[in-house]
Amino acid sequence: MNPRALSLAMAVLLLITFAACGGVSSSPTPPTNPAPTVSFSGSPTSINSGQSVTLTWTTTNATAFTVAPAISQSALPTSGSQAISPTATTTYTATATGAGGSVTAQVTITVTATANPTIQFSASPTSITAGGSSTLTWTTTNATAVNIDNGVGASLPANGTATVTPSATITYTATATGAAGTTPATATATVTVTASGPGDITAIKHIIFMVQENRSLDHYFGMLGAYKQSEGYTGTWNGVPLTASLPDYKSTGNVSPFHEQTVCIDNVSPAWNEAHYAVHNGKMDFFMKTEGSLPSAIDTQGTRMMGYYDQTDLPYYYELASQYATSDTWFSPLLSDTKPNRMYLLTGTSFGHIRPSDVPPTGGWPQPTIFRTLTQNHISWRYYYQDSSVYLASFSDWATLQGNVYNISHYFTDIQNPSTLPQVIFIERGGQIGTDEHPSANIQKGEVVVANIINSFLQSQIYQNSVFILTYDEGGQLYDHVPPFTEVAPDAIPPMLLPGDLPGTFGNSGYRVPLIVVSPFVKPQYVSHVNRDYTAILKFIETRFKLPPLTARDAAQDDMTEMFDFSAPQIPTPPPLPQASLSGKCNPNLEKAPGF
Protein backbone atom coordinates (compact mmCIF):
# COMPACT_ATOMS: atom_id res chain seq x y z
CA MET A 1 0.00 0.00 0.00
CA ASN A 2 1.35 3.35 -0.88
CA PRO A 3 2.06 5.71 1.86
CA ARG A 4 -0.72 8.04 0.90
CA ALA A 5 -3.34 5.35 1.02
CA LEU A 6 -1.99 4.09 4.37
CA SER A 7 -2.20 7.51 5.95
CA LEU A 8 -5.74 7.91 4.76
CA ALA A 9 -6.73 4.57 6.25
CA MET A 10 -5.11 5.38 9.54
CA ALA A 11 -6.89 8.68 9.68
CA VAL A 12 -10.23 7.04 9.13
CA LEU A 13 -9.49 4.46 11.82
CA LEU A 14 -8.56 7.11 14.36
CA LEU A 15 -11.70 9.07 13.58
CA ILE A 16 -13.86 6.05 14.14
CA THR A 17 -12.10 5.24 17.43
CA PHE A 18 -12.44 8.81 18.72
CA ALA A 19 -16.12 8.84 17.92
CA ALA A 20 -16.66 5.52 19.67
CA CYS A 21 -14.92 6.84 22.80
CA GLY A 22 -17.18 9.83 23.03
CA GLY A 23 -14.76 12.22 21.88
CA VAL A 24 -17.57 14.09 20.21
CA SER A 25 -20.10 15.95 22.65
CA SER A 26 -24.00 15.33 22.38
CA SER A 27 -27.35 15.76 24.62
CA PRO A 28 -28.04 12.83 27.17
CA THR A 29 -31.32 10.88 27.24
CA PRO A 30 -33.33 11.70 30.55
CA PRO A 31 -34.01 8.74 32.97
CA THR A 32 -37.60 7.32 33.27
CA ASN A 33 -39.38 7.76 36.93
CA PRO A 34 -41.87 5.03 37.88
CA ALA A 35 -45.52 5.97 38.36
CA PRO A 36 -47.02 5.74 41.93
CA THR A 37 -49.56 3.08 42.88
CA VAL A 38 -52.34 3.14 45.52
CA SER A 39 -54.50 0.53 47.27
CA PHE A 40 -57.55 2.07 49.05
CA SER A 41 -60.34 0.21 50.93
CA GLY A 42 -62.97 0.61 53.64
CA SER A 43 -64.04 -1.85 56.30
CA PRO A 44 -66.92 -2.28 56.55
CA THR A 45 -68.33 -0.62 53.51
CA SER A 46 -71.91 -0.61 54.87
CA ILE A 47 -72.81 0.83 58.30
CA ASN A 48 -75.73 2.26 60.26
CA SER A 49 -75.81 5.95 60.96
CA GLY A 50 -73.44 6.75 63.80
CA GLN A 51 -71.28 3.67 63.42
CA SER A 52 -67.65 3.88 62.33
CA VAL A 53 -65.64 2.53 59.40
CA THR A 54 -61.86 2.26 58.89
CA LEU A 55 -60.29 3.47 55.66
CA THR A 56 -56.97 1.76 54.87
CA TRP A 57 -54.43 2.62 52.14
CA THR A 58 -50.98 1.63 50.90
CA THR A 59 -48.95 3.34 48.14
CA THR A 60 -45.71 2.93 46.24
CA ASN A 61 -43.59 5.61 44.58
CA ALA A 62 -45.71 8.28 46.31
CA THR A 63 -44.54 11.32 48.24
CA ALA A 64 -48.02 12.57 49.29
CA PHE A 65 -51.44 11.12 49.94
CA THR A 66 -54.83 12.88 50.21
CA VAL A 67 -58.46 11.85 50.57
CA ALA A 68 -61.48 13.81 49.43
CA PRO A 69 -63.75 14.54 51.22
CA ALA A 70 -61.05 15.22 53.83
CA ILE A 71 -60.87 12.73 56.66
CA SER A 72 -58.25 14.54 58.73
CA GLN A 73 -57.01 18.05 59.39
CA SER A 74 -53.42 16.78 59.39
CA ALA A 75 -51.31 15.48 56.54
CA LEU A 76 -51.88 11.81 55.93
CA PRO A 77 -49.05 9.30 55.68
CA THR A 78 -48.50 7.58 52.36
CA SER A 79 -49.59 4.34 53.97
CA GLY A 80 -51.93 4.10 56.94
CA SER A 81 -55.51 3.96 58.17
CA GLN A 82 -58.15 6.29 59.63
CA ALA A 83 -61.45 5.63 61.45
CA ILE A 84 -64.35 7.78 60.32
CA SER A 85 -68.11 8.02 61.07
CA PRO A 86 -69.93 9.29 58.02
CA THR A 87 -73.50 10.38 58.50
CA ALA A 88 -74.54 9.67 54.91
CA THR A 89 -73.44 7.47 52.02
CA THR A 90 -70.14 8.92 50.74
CA THR A 91 -67.61 8.09 48.00
CA TYR A 92 -64.06 8.83 49.13
CA THR A 93 -61.37 9.49 46.50
CA ALA A 94 -57.75 8.81 47.43
CA THR A 95 -54.91 10.45 45.47
CA ALA A 96 -51.30 9.27 45.66
CA THR A 97 -48.77 11.68 44.16
CA GLY A 98 -45.09 11.01 43.36
CA ALA A 99 -42.29 11.95 40.90
CA GLY A 100 -43.72 9.59 38.40
CA GLY A 101 -47.15 11.31 38.49
CA SER A 102 -50.34 10.70 40.48
CA VAL A 103 -52.92 8.03 40.74
CA THR A 104 -56.42 7.82 42.32
CA ALA A 105 -58.65 5.18 43.86
CA GLN A 106 -62.18 5.30 45.28
CA VAL A 107 -64.24 3.54 47.91
CA THR A 108 -67.92 4.09 48.66
CA ILE A 109 -69.23 3.77 52.23
CA THR A 110 -72.95 3.10 52.32
CA VAL A 111 -74.68 4.60 55.44
CA THR A 112 -78.14 3.43 56.45
CA ALA A 113 -80.04 5.90 58.61
CA THR A 114 -81.37 4.37 61.91
CA ALA A 115 -84.74 5.64 63.13
CA ASN A 116 -84.85 7.39 66.52
CA PRO A 117 -86.41 5.43 69.39
CA THR A 118 -89.90 6.34 70.58
CA ILE A 119 -91.78 5.30 73.73
CA GLN A 120 -95.36 5.34 74.95
CA PHE A 121 -95.73 5.06 78.73
CA SER A 122 -98.87 4.78 80.86
CA ALA A 123 -100.14 3.71 84.29
CA SER A 124 -103.41 2.05 85.17
CA PRO A 125 -104.86 3.24 87.42
CA THR A 126 -103.12 6.59 87.83
CA SER A 127 -104.72 7.18 91.25
CA ILE A 128 -104.54 4.58 93.99
CA THR A 129 -104.88 4.25 97.71
CA ALA A 130 -101.40 4.39 99.19
CA GLY A 131 -99.95 0.90 99.23
CA GLY A 132 -102.27 -0.23 96.44
CA SER A 133 -101.00 -1.32 93.03
CA SER A 134 -100.81 0.24 89.60
CA THR A 135 -99.58 -1.34 86.34
CA LEU A 136 -97.01 0.54 84.29
CA THR A 137 -97.14 -0.28 80.57
CA TRP A 138 -94.68 0.78 77.87
CA THR A 139 -94.32 0.19 74.15
CA THR A 140 -91.40 1.38 72.02
CA THR A 141 -90.13 1.55 68.46
CA ASN A 142 -86.48 1.35 67.44
CA ALA A 143 -85.45 0.70 71.05
CA THR A 144 -83.18 -2.00 72.39
CA ALA A 145 -83.92 -1.57 76.11
CA VAL A 146 -85.97 0.43 78.59
CA ASN A 147 -84.99 1.78 82.03
CA ILE A 148 -87.60 2.96 84.57
CA ASP A 149 -86.50 4.84 87.68
CA ASN A 150 -87.67 4.64 91.31
CA GLY A 151 -86.56 1.05 91.54
CA VAL A 152 -88.77 -0.38 88.78
CA GLY A 153 -85.89 -1.78 86.75
CA ALA A 154 -82.98 -1.38 84.33
CA SER A 155 -82.47 -3.08 80.95
CA LEU A 156 -86.14 -3.96 80.72
CA PRO A 157 -87.61 -5.35 77.48
CA ALA A 158 -88.47 -2.87 74.77
CA ASN A 159 -92.15 -3.59 75.43
CA GLY A 160 -93.57 -4.70 78.74
CA THR A 161 -95.41 -4.08 82.00
CA ALA A 162 -94.48 -3.75 85.67
CA THR A 163 -96.59 -3.55 88.82
CA VAL A 164 -95.76 -0.82 91.36
CA THR A 165 -97.14 -0.25 94.87
CA PRO A 166 -96.12 3.27 95.86
CA SER A 167 -96.89 4.47 99.37
CA ALA A 168 -96.68 8.07 98.19
CA THR A 169 -97.31 9.96 94.96
CA ILE A 170 -94.46 9.17 92.53
CA THR A 171 -93.59 10.30 89.01
CA TYR A 172 -91.95 7.48 87.07
CA THR A 173 -89.61 8.20 84.13
CA ALA A 174 -89.11 5.58 81.42
CA THR A 175 -86.07 5.89 79.11
CA ALA A 176 -85.92 3.95 75.82
CA THR A 177 -82.44 3.40 74.42
CA GLY A 178 -82.00 3.05 70.65
CA ALA A 179 -79.47 1.18 68.57
CA ALA A 180 -75.85 2.30 68.72
CA GLY A 181 -75.38 5.49 66.77
CA THR A 182 -78.95 6.66 66.98
CA THR A 183 -79.22 10.43 67.28
CA PRO A 184 -80.78 11.11 69.68
CA ALA A 185 -79.98 7.78 71.29
CA THR A 186 -82.80 7.87 73.87
CA ALA A 187 -86.44 8.83 74.27
CA THR A 188 -88.17 9.46 77.60
CA ALA A 189 -91.71 9.57 78.92
CA THR A 190 -93.16 10.11 82.39
CA VAL A 191 -96.27 9.09 84.24
CA THR A 192 -97.45 10.05 87.73
CA VAL A 193 -99.17 7.60 90.04
CA THR A 194 -101.05 9.52 92.70
CA ALA A 195 -101.14 7.58 95.96
CA SER A 196 -103.65 8.90 98.45
CA GLY A 197 -104.76 7.68 101.82
CA PRO A 198 -103.18 6.80 105.13
CA GLY A 199 -99.81 5.79 103.81
CA ASP A 200 -98.98 9.04 102.03
CA ILE A 201 -97.62 10.81 105.05
CA THR A 202 -95.31 13.04 103.02
CA ALA A 203 -98.11 15.60 102.81
CA ILE A 204 -97.12 16.50 106.38
CA LYS A 205 -94.21 18.94 106.48
CA HIS A 206 -94.25 19.84 110.19
CA ILE A 207 -95.13 17.73 113.23
CA ILE A 208 -95.85 19.55 116.49
CA PHE A 209 -96.56 17.61 119.66
CA MET A 210 -97.33 18.78 123.18
CA VAL A 211 -97.79 16.62 126.25
CA GLN A 212 -99.64 17.92 129.30
CA GLU A 213 -99.96 16.26 132.73
CA ASN A 214 -101.90 13.55 134.56
CA ARG A 215 -105.42 13.23 133.23
CA SER A 216 -107.21 10.02 132.32
CA LEU A 217 -109.54 9.69 129.36
CA ASP A 218 -112.68 9.03 131.45
CA HIS A 219 -111.80 11.97 133.68
CA TYR A 220 -111.35 14.50 130.84
CA PHE A 221 -113.17 13.13 127.80
CA GLY A 222 -115.56 10.63 129.36
CA MET A 223 -118.49 12.72 128.12
CA LEU A 224 -117.07 13.47 124.67
CA GLY A 225 -119.24 10.83 122.99
CA ALA A 226 -122.47 12.53 123.99
CA TYR A 227 -121.10 15.89 122.94
CA LYS A 228 -120.02 14.59 119.55
CA GLN A 229 -123.39 12.94 118.98
CA SER A 230 -125.04 16.30 119.62
CA GLU A 231 -123.00 17.58 116.67
CA GLY A 232 -124.03 14.76 114.35
CA TYR A 233 -121.41 12.10 115.09
CA THR A 234 -122.86 8.63 114.53
CA GLY A 235 -119.89 6.48 115.52
CA THR A 236 -119.03 4.93 118.88
CA TRP A 237 -117.14 6.40 121.82
CA ASN A 238 -116.06 4.33 124.81
CA GLY A 239 -116.61 6.97 127.45
CA VAL A 240 -117.03 6.94 131.20
CA PRO A 241 -119.65 4.41 132.41
CA LEU A 242 -121.94 6.47 134.62
CA THR A 243 -123.34 3.30 136.22
CA ALA A 244 -119.95 2.12 137.47
CA SER A 245 -119.78 1.74 141.27
CA LEU A 246 -116.39 1.51 143.02
CA PRO A 247 -115.53 1.21 146.74
CA ASP A 248 -114.05 4.29 148.37
CA TYR A 249 -110.79 4.31 150.31
CA LYS A 250 -112.37 3.63 153.68
CA SER A 251 -114.93 1.15 152.30
CA THR A 252 -117.71 3.31 153.67
CA GLY A 253 -119.61 3.14 150.41
CA ASN A 254 -119.41 2.98 146.68
CA VAL A 255 -118.93 5.94 144.36
CA SER A 256 -120.15 6.33 140.80
CA PRO A 257 -118.68 8.77 138.28
CA PHE A 258 -119.87 12.32 138.93
CA HIS A 259 -119.40 15.76 137.40
CA GLU A 260 -116.62 17.63 139.18
CA GLN A 261 -117.76 20.91 140.71
CA THR A 262 -114.27 22.39 140.91
CA VAL A 263 -111.56 22.89 138.29
CA CYS A 264 -108.90 22.37 140.97
CA ILE A 265 -108.63 19.04 142.80
CA ASP A 266 -106.08 17.69 145.25
CA ASN A 267 -103.30 15.55 143.86
CA VAL A 268 -103.33 11.75 143.86
CA SER A 269 -100.53 9.21 143.40
CA PRO A 270 -100.16 7.44 140.02
CA ALA A 271 -96.93 5.63 140.98
CA TRP A 272 -96.06 2.04 139.97
CA ASN A 273 -97.60 0.33 143.00
CA GLU A 274 -100.74 2.46 143.12
CA ALA A 275 -101.35 2.15 139.39
CA HIS A 276 -100.93 -1.63 139.41
CA TYR A 277 -103.07 -1.94 142.53
CA ALA A 278 -105.95 0.06 140.99
CA VAL A 279 -106.06 -2.23 137.95
CA HIS A 280 -107.03 -5.07 140.34
CA ASN A 281 -106.61 -7.91 137.85
CA GLY A 282 -108.32 -5.93 135.11
CA LYS A 283 -111.37 -4.98 137.18
CA MET A 284 -110.26 -1.31 137.28
CA ASP A 285 -112.08 -0.77 140.56
CA PHE A 286 -109.44 0.01 143.21
CA PHE A 287 -108.62 3.60 142.26
CA MET A 288 -109.95 5.12 145.45
CA LYS A 289 -108.22 2.41 147.48
CA THR A 290 -104.90 4.16 146.76
CA GLU A 291 -105.91 7.40 148.48
CA GLY A 292 -103.67 6.63 151.46
CA SER A 293 -100.52 7.13 149.38
CA LEU A 294 -101.17 10.85 148.94
CA PRO A 295 -104.06 11.70 151.27
CA SER A 296 -106.22 14.77 150.98
CA ALA A 297 -107.39 16.61 154.08
CA ILE A 298 -110.61 17.48 152.25
CA ASP A 299 -111.44 14.29 150.33
CA THR A 300 -110.28 11.59 152.71
CA GLN A 301 -112.08 8.79 150.85
CA GLY A 302 -110.46 9.63 147.47
CA THR A 303 -113.79 10.20 145.76
CA ARG A 304 -112.32 12.95 143.54
CA MET A 305 -110.74 10.15 141.49
CA MET A 306 -114.22 9.31 140.18
CA GLY A 307 -115.02 12.83 138.99
CA TYR A 308 -115.19 13.84 135.35
CA TYR A 309 -115.37 17.06 133.33
CA ASP A 310 -117.43 17.90 130.26
CA GLN A 311 -117.83 20.59 127.63
CA THR A 312 -118.99 23.15 130.16
CA ASP A 313 -115.61 22.90 131.87
CA LEU A 314 -113.36 22.38 128.82
CA PRO A 315 -115.27 23.92 125.91
CA TYR A 316 -112.25 24.46 123.69
CA TYR A 317 -110.92 20.91 124.07
CA TYR A 318 -114.34 19.33 123.52
CA GLU A 319 -115.02 21.21 120.31
CA LEU A 320 -111.48 20.70 119.02
CA ALA A 321 -111.69 16.95 119.68
CA SER A 322 -115.14 16.82 118.09
CA GLN A 323 -114.09 18.55 114.87
CA TYR A 324 -110.74 16.85 114.37
CA ALA A 325 -109.43 13.36 115.24
CA THR A 326 -109.15 11.61 118.58
CA SER A 327 -109.06 8.10 120.02
CA ASP A 328 -110.74 6.12 122.78
CA THR A 329 -107.88 3.59 122.78
CA TRP A 330 -104.87 5.84 123.36
CA PHE A 331 -102.75 4.92 126.38
CA SER A 332 -99.71 6.05 128.29
CA PRO A 333 -96.70 3.72 127.83
CA LEU A 334 -96.59 2.18 131.32
CA LEU A 335 -98.40 1.97 134.66
CA SER A 336 -96.41 4.54 136.57
CA ASP A 337 -96.09 8.27 137.01
CA THR A 338 -94.77 11.16 134.99
CA LYS A 339 -91.01 10.71 134.71
CA PRO A 340 -90.90 7.05 133.64
CA ASN A 341 -93.63 7.78 131.10
CA ARG A 342 -91.77 10.81 129.77
CA MET A 343 -88.69 8.64 129.40
CA TYR A 344 -90.78 6.63 126.94
CA LEU A 345 -91.91 9.85 125.27
CA LEU A 346 -88.34 10.87 124.47
CA THR A 347 -86.57 7.51 124.12
CA GLY A 348 -89.19 4.78 123.59
CA THR A 349 -88.30 3.13 126.92
CA SER A 350 -87.76 3.90 130.60
CA PHE A 351 -84.67 1.62 130.47
CA GLY A 352 -85.87 -0.20 133.58
CA HIS A 353 -86.86 2.83 135.65
CA ILE A 354 -90.27 2.97 137.31
CA ARG A 355 -89.80 5.77 139.85
CA PRO A 356 -89.59 9.55 139.47
CA SER A 357 -87.05 9.61 142.29
CA ASP A 358 -84.38 7.87 140.20
CA VAL A 359 -81.56 10.35 139.63
CA PRO A 360 -79.72 10.47 136.31
CA PRO A 361 -75.99 9.75 136.38
CA THR A 362 -73.40 12.47 135.91
CA GLY A 363 -73.81 13.76 132.38
CA GLY A 364 -77.45 12.67 132.15
CA TRP A 365 -79.31 9.57 131.06
CA PRO A 366 -77.30 8.06 128.16
CA GLN A 367 -80.25 6.63 126.25
CA PRO A 368 -80.62 8.20 122.76
CA THR A 369 -83.62 10.50 122.42
CA ILE A 370 -85.76 11.11 119.38
CA PHE A 371 -83.99 14.47 119.06
CA ARG A 372 -80.62 12.75 118.67
CA THR A 373 -82.08 10.62 115.87
CA LEU A 374 -83.53 13.70 114.19
CA THR A 375 -80.18 15.47 114.35
CA GLN A 376 -78.26 12.47 113.01
CA ASN A 377 -80.64 12.26 110.06
CA HIS A 378 -80.58 16.00 109.33
CA ILE A 379 -84.23 16.57 110.26
CA SER A 380 -84.69 20.04 111.70
CA TRP A 381 -86.34 20.36 115.13
CA ARG A 382 -86.91 22.64 118.09
CA TYR A 383 -87.92 22.14 121.69
CA TYR A 384 -89.90 24.99 123.25
CA TYR A 385 -90.17 25.39 127.03
CA GLN A 386 -92.51 27.56 129.09
CA ASP A 387 -90.56 27.72 132.33
CA SER A 388 -87.73 25.79 133.97
CA SER A 389 -89.42 22.48 133.07
CA VAL A 390 -87.08 21.10 130.38
CA TYR A 391 -87.00 17.33 130.71
CA LEU A 392 -84.47 16.95 127.88
CA ALA A 393 -81.87 18.44 130.22
CA SER A 394 -81.90 15.13 132.16
CA PHE A 395 -80.30 13.31 129.20
CA SER A 396 -76.74 13.22 127.95
CA ASP A 397 -78.06 14.54 124.65
CA TRP A 398 -78.49 17.89 126.36
CA ALA A 399 -74.82 18.76 125.96
CA THR A 400 -75.02 18.70 122.18
CA LEU A 401 -78.70 19.46 121.55
CA GLN A 402 -79.48 22.37 123.84
CA GLY A 403 -78.87 24.81 121.00
CA ASN A 404 -82.25 23.72 119.62
CA VAL A 405 -84.10 24.56 122.85
CA TYR A 406 -85.97 27.88 122.95
CA ASN A 407 -88.41 29.75 125.13
CA ILE A 408 -92.04 29.46 124.06
CA SER A 409 -92.04 33.12 123.01
CA HIS A 410 -90.00 32.09 119.95
CA TYR A 411 -92.70 29.62 118.92
CA PHE A 412 -95.23 32.37 118.22
CA THR A 413 -92.73 34.10 115.93
CA ASP A 414 -91.31 30.98 114.31
CA ILE A 415 -94.69 29.59 113.37
CA GLN A 416 -95.27 32.57 111.09
CA ASN A 417 -92.22 31.68 108.97
CA PRO A 418 -92.88 28.37 107.19
CA SER A 419 -89.61 28.52 105.26
CA THR A 420 -87.53 28.41 108.45
CA LEU A 421 -89.87 26.54 110.80
CA PRO A 422 -88.36 23.19 111.87
CA GLN A 423 -89.86 19.92 110.69
CA VAL A 424 -90.45 18.57 114.22
CA ILE A 425 -91.46 20.65 117.23
CA PHE A 426 -91.96 19.61 120.84
CA ILE A 427 -93.67 21.93 123.33
CA GLU A 428 -92.88 21.28 126.99
CA ARG A 429 -95.57 21.70 129.64
CA GLY A 430 -95.57 24.63 132.04
CA GLY A 431 -95.06 22.63 135.22
CA GLN A 432 -93.61 25.40 137.35
CA ILE A 433 -96.17 28.02 136.36
CA GLY A 434 -99.18 25.81 136.97
CA THR A 435 -100.43 25.58 133.40
CA ASP A 436 -99.70 21.88 132.83
CA GLU A 437 -103.19 20.75 134.03
CA HIS A 438 -101.67 18.55 136.73
CA PRO A 439 -104.03 17.81 139.64
CA SER A 440 -103.98 20.72 142.11
CA ALA A 441 -103.55 23.13 139.15
CA ASN A 442 -106.47 24.95 137.56
CA ILE A 443 -107.30 22.94 134.42
CA GLN A 444 -108.89 25.94 132.75
CA LYS A 445 -105.69 27.98 133.02
CA GLY A 446 -103.95 25.16 131.24
CA GLU A 447 -106.62 25.03 128.56
CA VAL A 448 -106.24 28.76 127.94
CA VAL A 449 -102.48 28.38 127.43
CA VAL A 450 -102.86 25.38 125.13
CA ALA A 451 -105.65 27.08 123.19
CA ASN A 452 -103.38 30.05 122.56
CA ILE A 453 -100.64 27.75 121.26
CA ILE A 454 -102.99 25.73 119.04
CA ASN A 455 -104.86 28.77 117.75
CA SER A 456 -101.55 30.25 116.64
CA PHE A 457 -101.01 27.04 114.68
CA LEU A 458 -104.52 27.13 113.19
CA GLN A 459 -104.07 30.74 112.08
CA SER A 460 -100.64 30.20 110.52
CA GLN A 461 -99.69 29.24 106.98
CA ILE A 462 -98.25 25.93 108.18
CA TYR A 463 -101.70 24.66 109.12
CA GLN A 464 -102.13 23.61 105.49
CA ASN A 465 -99.37 20.98 105.63
CA SER A 466 -98.83 20.16 109.30
CA VAL A 467 -100.19 18.31 112.31
CA PHE A 468 -100.51 19.28 115.96
CA ILE A 469 -100.78 16.42 118.49
CA LEU A 470 -101.94 17.10 122.05
CA THR A 471 -101.92 14.41 124.69
CA TYR A 472 -101.23 13.77 128.41
CA ASP A 473 -98.30 11.92 129.91
CA GLU A 474 -100.28 9.58 132.21
CA GLY A 475 -103.67 9.12 133.84
CA GLY A 476 -102.81 10.67 137.19
CA GLN A 477 -104.58 7.82 139.05
CA LEU A 478 -107.89 9.33 138.01
CA TYR A 479 -110.54 6.77 137.16
CA ASP A 480 -110.58 5.05 133.79
CA HIS A 481 -112.59 1.93 133.20
CA VAL A 482 -110.53 0.38 130.34
CA PRO A 483 -107.70 -1.99 131.38
CA PRO A 484 -104.19 -1.58 129.93
CA PHE A 485 -103.50 -3.57 126.79
CA THR A 486 -100.68 -6.02 126.12
CA GLU A 487 -97.65 -4.40 124.51
CA VAL A 488 -94.19 -5.24 123.21
CA ALA A 489 -91.50 -4.71 125.82
CA PRO A 490 -89.15 -1.96 124.63
CA ASP A 491 -85.98 -3.87 125.48
CA ALA A 492 -84.63 -6.67 127.64
CA ILE A 493 -84.29 -4.49 130.75
CA PRO A 494 -86.77 -5.57 133.48
CA PRO A 495 -88.47 -3.16 135.88
CA MET A 496 -86.19 -2.04 138.71
CA LEU A 497 -88.42 -3.37 141.50
CA LEU A 498 -87.63 -2.87 145.16
CA PRO A 499 -88.65 -5.21 147.98
CA GLY A 500 -92.37 -4.82 148.57
CA ASP A 501 -93.16 -3.55 145.06
CA LEU A 502 -96.09 -5.07 143.22
CA PRO A 503 -94.98 -7.37 140.40
CA GLY A 504 -95.25 -6.19 136.85
CA THR A 505 -93.49 -6.03 133.50
CA PHE A 506 -93.06 -3.62 130.64
CA GLY A 507 -95.30 -5.86 128.55
CA ASN A 508 -98.41 -3.74 128.95
CA SER A 509 -99.48 -0.13 128.60
CA GLY A 510 -100.57 2.38 131.17
CA TYR A 511 -104.03 3.95 131.44
CA ARG A 512 -105.96 5.65 128.66
CA VAL A 513 -105.23 9.35 128.28
CA PRO A 514 -106.82 12.11 126.15
CA LEU A 515 -105.68 12.74 122.59
CA ILE A 516 -106.47 15.41 119.98
CA VAL A 517 -104.90 15.32 116.50
CA VAL A 518 -105.30 18.58 114.58
CA SER A 519 -104.49 18.75 110.85
CA PRO A 520 -106.29 19.59 107.63
CA PHE A 521 -105.61 15.97 106.59
CA VAL A 522 -107.28 14.20 109.51
CA LYS A 523 -110.61 12.58 108.88
CA PRO A 524 -113.24 14.98 110.24
CA GLN A 525 -114.78 14.00 113.60
CA TYR A 526 -112.74 10.82 113.48
CA VAL A 527 -112.45 8.43 116.42
CA SER A 528 -109.75 5.77 116.28
CA HIS A 529 -110.29 2.46 118.04
CA VAL A 530 -106.75 1.11 117.44
CA ASN A 531 -104.78 0.32 120.59
CA ARG A 532 -101.72 2.55 120.83
CA ASP A 533 -99.62 4.15 123.48
CA TYR A 534 -98.18 7.56 122.82
CA THR A 535 -94.83 6.23 121.59
CA ALA A 536 -96.97 6.10 118.45
CA ILE A 537 -96.01 9.77 118.13
CA LEU A 538 -92.41 8.61 117.76
CA LYS A 539 -93.56 6.06 115.18
CA PHE A 540 -95.45 8.79 113.30
CA ILE A 541 -92.28 10.93 113.18
CA GLU A 542 -90.18 7.92 112.17
CA THR A 543 -92.62 6.96 109.44
CA ARG A 544 -92.80 10.49 108.03
CA PHE A 545 -89.05 11.06 107.95
CA LYS A 546 -87.93 7.45 107.34
CA LEU A 547 -86.09 7.15 110.65
CA PRO A 548 -85.09 3.98 112.49
CA PRO A 549 -87.02 3.12 115.66
CA LEU A 550 -85.54 3.88 119.05
CA THR A 551 -86.71 0.63 120.66
CA ALA A 552 -88.88 -2.39 120.06
CA ARG A 553 -91.80 -0.48 121.65
CA ASP A 554 -92.03 2.37 119.17
CA ALA A 555 -91.15 -0.03 116.35
CA ALA A 556 -94.27 -2.06 117.20
CA GLN A 557 -96.62 0.92 117.41
CA ASP A 558 -99.24 1.69 114.80
CA ASP A 559 -98.07 4.84 112.99
CA MET A 560 -101.39 6.74 113.39
CA THR A 561 -101.88 7.22 109.65
CA GLU A 562 -105.31 5.57 109.74
CA MET A 563 -106.54 8.85 111.23
CA PHE A 564 -105.61 10.69 108.02
CA ASP A 565 -106.73 10.98 104.42
CA PHE A 566 -103.98 12.59 102.38
CA SER A 567 -105.80 12.57 99.05
CA ALA A 568 -106.78 16.20 99.73
CA PRO A 569 -107.21 18.44 102.76
CA GLN A 570 -110.27 17.19 104.64
CA ILE A 571 -110.56 20.29 106.86
CA PRO A 572 -108.91 22.97 104.69
CA THR A 573 -110.24 25.81 106.83
CA PRO A 574 -110.17 25.60 110.63
CA PRO A 575 -113.69 25.57 112.05
CA PRO A 576 -114.81 28.20 114.56
CA LEU A 577 -113.87 27.21 118.10
CA PRO A 578 -115.11 28.51 121.44
CA GLN A 579 -112.84 30.42 123.73
CA ALA A 580 -111.23 28.50 126.54
CA SER A 581 -113.20 29.34 129.68
CA LEU A 582 -111.94 30.64 133.03
CA SER A 583 -115.39 30.64 134.59
CA GLY A 584 -115.02 27.46 136.62
CA LYS A 585 -114.67 27.38 140.42
CA CYS A 586 -111.23 26.55 141.73
CA ASN A 587 -112.19 25.21 145.14
CA PRO A 588 -110.94 21.81 146.37
CA ASN A 589 -113.60 21.93 149.08
CA LEU A 590 -116.01 21.03 146.28
CA GLU A 591 -114.04 18.02 145.02
CA LYS A 592 -115.80 15.27 146.96
CA ALA A 593 -118.45 13.08 145.39
CA PRO A 594 -122.07 13.90 146.24
CA GLY A 595 -123.02 12.41 149.60
CA PHE A 596 -119.47 12.27 150.97
- For residue range 532-564, list pLDDT tens digits in order: 999 999 999 999 999 999 999 999 999 999 999
Judge whether 186 lies within some domain.
yes
Cβ-contact 513, 215 below 8 angstroms: yes
CA terminus-to-terminus distance, the chain:
193
The total domain count for the chain is 3
A 10 A CB-CB count for 155 gives 9
Give the span between the Cα atoms of 266 and 299, in whole angstroms. Answer: 8
| 433/466 same-domain check | yes
Burial class (CB in 10 A: 0-12, 13-18, 19+), 453: buried
pTM: 0.69
**CATH code assigned at 393:** 3.40.720.10
| 215/89 same-domain check | no
pLDDT value of position 292: 95
**CATH code assigned at 170:** 2.60.40.10
Judge whether 4 lies within some domain.
no
Judge whether 249 lies within some domain.
no
Of 171, 196, 221, the position where a domain reaches its end is 196
pLDDT value of position 24: 45
**Which 3 state secondary structure label does DSSP give 537?**
helix
- Tell me what percent of the residues of the chain surpass a pLDDT of 70: 92
Mean pLDDT computed over 208-215: 98
**CATH code assigned at 58:** 2.60.40
pLDDT value of position 194: 75
Q: Is the pLDDT of residue 197 over 80?
A: no
Pairwise pLDDT comparison (217 vs 5), residue with the higher score: 217
| 94/130 same-domain check | no
| 131/59 same-domain check | no
| 189/223 same-domain check | no
Q: Based on C-alpha coordinates, what's the Rg of the chain?
A: 46
Judge whether 291 lies within some domain.
no
| 444/364 same-domain check | yes
Judge whether 508 lies within some domain.
yes
Band (pLDDT 50/70/90 cuts) for residue 19 is: very low
| 406/426 same-domain check | yes
Cβ-contact 497, 357 below 8 angstroms: no
Mean pLDDT computed over 73-97: 92
Judge whether 588 lies within some domain.
no
pLDDT value of position 14: 43
Judge whether 282 lies within some domain.
no
Note down the domain range covering 556. 205-241+310-560
| 337/457 same-domain check | yes
Task: State the pairing for strand pair 424-427/381-385.
Answer: parallel
pLDDT value of position 2: 53
| 366/475 same-domain check | yes
A 10 A CB-CB count for 69 gives 10
Task: State the pairing for strand pair 101-112/46-48.
Answer: parallel
| 95/176 same-domain check | no
| 403/513 same-domain check | yes
**Counting every residue, how long is the chain?**
596
Give the span between the Cα atoms of 525 and 544, in whole angstroms. Answer: 23
Stretch among 41-50, 89-98, 231-240, 381-390 having the lowest mean pLDDT: 41-50
| 434/491 same-domain check | yes
**Which 3 state secondary structure label does DSSP give 254?**
strand
Judge whether 134 lies within some domain.
yes
Give the span between the Cα atoms of 437 and 455, in whole angstroms. Answer: 18
pLDDT value of position 15: 47
Band (pLDDT 50/70/90 cuts) for residue 178 is: confident
pLDDT value of position 165: 83
Q: Is the pLDDT of residue 331 over 70?
A: yes
Instruction: Give residue 472's identity as a one-letter amino acid code.
Output: Y
